[in-house]
Structure 1
Amino acid sequence: MDESFFATFTVPLIAGAAAGTTSDAVLFPMDTIKTRFQSSKGFLRAGGFHRMYAGILPTVLGSAPSGATFFCTYELTKTLIGQFLPNVHAPFMHMLGATAGEIVSDIARVPFELVKQRLQANCHLKASFVVRNILATEGLRGLFRGYFSTVTRDIPFSFIQYPLWEHLKSLWAARQGGPTEPWQGAVCGSVAGCTAAVITTPLDVAKTRIMLADAKGVEVTSSLPQLIVTIGRNEGITSLFSGIVPRMIWIGIGGFTFLGTYDFVKHHLLAFEISRYP
């Protein structure tokens, strides 16, 4: 196998799939709490602490393709920018790579995310019923409701998280005089994730409202900025930060797990390839 192809495509494909599945499965209960806090019904009416794993199946099914497509696109974009635009500074390279990664991976993520959040906020429903209901009332297009709001949320988040993650790893590597270990990358990922989580919570609240709304709800026809203004005006600024504590904990641990797993699997895959072809 060509070494550059292995490093640019195969490694991020496998490592990204492992990272996505691991972090989403481990942290699912915290995600459920966050979603129920952000629901317009309120935490208790949306399910409270009952059936914390409602929606785990679509999450697990969507995690691997989402993580794999993100990191394949992220690494490929960075490689292409490095080849054709060598003067681009590293933070901008990471921002562009993360943007491309989110746009592509959200195509795989959104249908599963939509079903998952419906189940989290309506824990008595079954996944098959939710899917059939969406297809019957909105058609196939309904499974992608919230795609643009998800991208609108994820791009600013990634603009903060990934350049910060890469920068923190660079600082740590320079301080110790050698490449960071996977656990160090995981710590950097946690710090970067928490920082991005705080700043982008209003976007996440609005995205959740869009995904949970009825097909004819006003949220569906509102843009993300319009919905943020509406929520702030009608419910108060604090509503825009609903679920911020579980979101910070979830993404902080998630950043540690997701990016740590990615670095761990990537490190061992590259080491294995080098051992095969010294």
Structure 2
Amino acid sequence: MAPGAGPADQPGFGVSLLAGGVAGVSVDLILFPLDTIKTRLQSPQGFNKAGGFRGIYAGVPSAAIGSFPNAAAFFITYEYTKFFLRPDSSSYLVPVTHMVAASVGEVVACLIRVPSEVVKQRAQVSAASGTFQIFSNILYQEGIQGLYRGYKSTVLREALWSRKQDHVVDSWQSAACGAFAGGFAAIVTTPLDVAKTRIMLAKVGSRTASGNVLSALFEVWKTGGISGLFAGVFPRMAAISLGGFIFLGAYEQTRSLLF
């Protein structure tokens, strides 16, 4: 890299950014039904009362609007953080640099992801209400802070299972390994995902709505035990495992069309 050059000066950075955004949107939209099922399984009112298998695409506008900027925010932050830290390629600090860059990327991306997630999840369990109506109600009743309910639990969840993001894998064998690793991580972090869902769906003014992760986990444990803490684990595991393959295919296809 030339002295003073940044990530944006690297060949293909813009293409990679666009391809990553398109791939992220593709994953979110294709696997949206699995996400809805997972959310309804984790909701406090239970799967059937939350909508069952009806209106499986409720909340999809929120996911569609937030998906691309969320992926772009992560990608840009990750690359620029790596560039800023830039250890020698032979340094033992390289893995640490990638981990720090991914963590910073998740913190920034969640500034976009969490509001989108809050609106999406409330729409998923209230299929009769439109996305814009839900968004307006949140702002009216809770203000901007209402859109960031569950921010801490979301960042913690993402940080714990975030994979190495140095580059998109270039073979289906790597994708398969990533799918197995992602599926295992999905199982381990499901309790945090349940806590995030409960916080985002909690009634205004309730204890859970305060955003305390440990308190939310305790409430789930008290009412649902182990099965409550792992509600939605199978659709979540399937979505994360399949997501790697879909992301890879969409990413490579978009790059081939742009180059």
Interval containing the TM-score (normalised by the shorter chain): 0.7 to 0.9
- 1:228 counterpart (198, 217, 224): 217
- 1:5 counterpart (5, 8, 27): 8
Q: Which runs of 5+ in 1 are unaligned?
A: 170-179, 273-278
Partner of residue 174, structure 1:
none
Partner of residue 256, structure 1:
245
- 1:23 counterpart (21, 27, 32): 27
Partner of residue 144, structure 1:
148
Amino acid of the residue matched to residue 65 of structure 1?
Answer: P
Q: What is the correspondence of 1:93-108 to structure 2 with a 5 Å cutoff? A: 93-108=97-112
Partner of residue 14, structure 1:
18
- 1:36 counterpart (13, 36, 40): 40
Q: What is the correspondence of 1:127-142 to structure 2 with a 5 Å cutoff? A: 127-142=131-146
CA distance in 1, matches of 2:226, 2:47: 18
Q: CA deviation at 1:115?
A: 0.6
Identity of aligned residues (%): 44
Q: CA deviation at 1:98?
A: 1.5
Amino acid of the residue matched to residue 194 of structure 1?
Answer: G
Amino acid of the residue matched to residue 122 of structure 2?
Answer: R
Change (3 A) 1:91 1:194: farther
Change (3 A) 1:30 1:93: same
- 1:71 counterpart (68, 75, 94): 75
Amino acid of the residue matched to residue 189 of structure 1?
Answer: G
Secondary structure at the aligned position of 2:45 is classed as coil
Q: Which runs of 5+ in 2 are unaligned?
A: none
Do structure 1's residue 210 and structure 2's residue 199 form an aligned pair? yes
Secondary structure at the aligned position of 2:189 is classed as helix
CA distance in 1, matches of 2:181, 2:79: 18
Change (3 A) 1:267 1:69: farther
CA distance in 1, matches of 2:65, 2:226: 35
Moved more, 215-224 or 30-39: 215-224
Partner of residue 181, structure 2:
192
Q: CA deviation at 1:86?
A: 6.5
Count residues with an aligned counterpart.
254
Q: CA deviation at 1:43?
A: 0.5
Change (3 A) 1:264 1:97: farther
Q: CA RMSD in A?
A: 2.6
Partner of residue 173, structure 1:
none
**TM-score, normalising length: structure 1:** 0.82
- 1:181 counterpart (142, 165, 170): 170
Partner of residue 125, structure 1:
129
